[in-house]
Structure 1
């Protein structure tokens, strides 16, 4: 897709595609997301997308200026799916933990798209909602504005970073993943204590832990640090 702006008033397709469906931003995003998961980043081309939709590729310019514009819409849709499934309870720590885990699960549900979109800033409706909501949770908990932004920044980048990392691993061919998991058992678990005392002492824990995601543990560490910081802020306010 190259840069080609179509006025908003002219973006609606009035006739069905060859497959009998009417184009919309939602349909295009959902189809693009499916193609990315099936075929990888190369699937995000106007020609392949038009073919999947049964539409003339040029009609896609009525909705998106270029492929990067579409990629931002896909990233925003992934955020929206997380936000639609999340319900706050009023317990800031539990709410952020639940939100983070849902973000991570959402990335693993669409690993190839998550790897492509994790580092993007969309400025779109769902991302704006997520930023507003996350900051609201922290400010309502009692964090001053600067602290709320600092912790939110760490929280969101941690979630996106682990989402991309674990999604990249999930996207590897199964034989490759299995071979790498076996390294912990076949190599690390067999290293002798006289040359590698720390690995030998913790080998069974390495085998049990290193094949999974560290995100839940990292998230808990971050939230514990944030809770400690909030206690310090409250103590200072009482002095």
Structure 2
């Protein structure tokens, strides 16, 4: 009898990414992945010690894809902005993994490549070296939060989206002006959480970068 096929690490990650397209990280399991590959969980644990390690590796591949073809151009703000937009776009194609990236620290190749470029750009901004790590951390937290939030909205079904929009309209347009005067005043202008996320992403990133620039003292 022929033995079971031996799956490579890349093949396992490909299968995991495909499985995550139709499920989320919470319902994902090594057992389900093993079943999809026609093998047993123990064979996958030879490659990854835990579900968390596997998810980190899949998410890190998104970062590798984001950096693929990237060439540093422009000033430090343009470089960080271009890289951030690439990461956002890459996770937009696999939103289930955005929350994984935001939740679990990753030390994979993709993570290191993104970190290296942002740190290099910040050094070239004129920031003193002692300030660079803290500024990097703020940018990383901002990007992870925005991308994970946007991905969360994009994974809901059309029916859930329609229901949410109706609840929003009822809650906002029907707000009691005596109890919620400001909400009632701006009700027709206030937009739901999912609106204009792309513009908001770029605006908040620009504000953060402008704040960094304003803190740099000319030499």
> What is the CA RMSD across the aligned residues, in angstroms?
2.5
> What is the CA distance between 1:139 and its match in structure 2?
0.3
Provide the residue aligned with 2:59 in structure 1: 75
> What is the CA distance between 1:194 and its match in structure 2?
6.1
Provide the residue aligned with 1:54 in structure 2: 38
CA distance in 2, matches of 1:223, 1:182: 36
Larger radius of gyration: 1
In structure 1, runs of 5+ residues without a counterpart are: 1-14
CA distance in 1, matches of 2:78, 2:185: 34
The residue correspondences of 1:82-101 to structure 2 (distance < 5 A) are 82-101=66-85
- 3-state SS in 2 of match to 1:211: coil
> What is the CA distance between 1:129 and its match in structure 2?
1.7
CA separation of 1:44/1:33 partners in 2, compared to 1, >3 Å: closer, same or farther?
Answer: farther
2:176 and 2:184 in contact (8 A); partners too: yes
Provide the residue aligned with 1:135 in structure 2: 119
The count of residues paired between Structure 1 and Structure 2 equals: 213
In structure 2, runs of 5+ residues without a counterpart are: none
Choose between structure 1 and 2: higher helix proportion: 1
Q: Which runs of 4+ in 1 moved over 6 A?
A: none
CA distance in 1, matches of 2:86, 2:54: 23
> What is the CA distance between 1:96 and its match in structure 2?
1.2
> What is the CA distance between 1:30 and its match in structure 2?
1.7
In the superposition, the TM-score normalised over structure 1's length comes to: 0.77
2:177 and 2:184 in contact (8 A); partners too: yes
CA separation of 1:102/1:181 partners in 2, compared to 1, >3 Å: closer, same or farther?
Answer: farther
CA separation of 1:187/1:128 partners in 2, compared to 1, >3 Å: closer, same or farther?
Answer: same
Provide the residue aligned with 1:222 in structure 2: 208
> What is the CA distance between 1:85 and its match in structure 2?
4.6
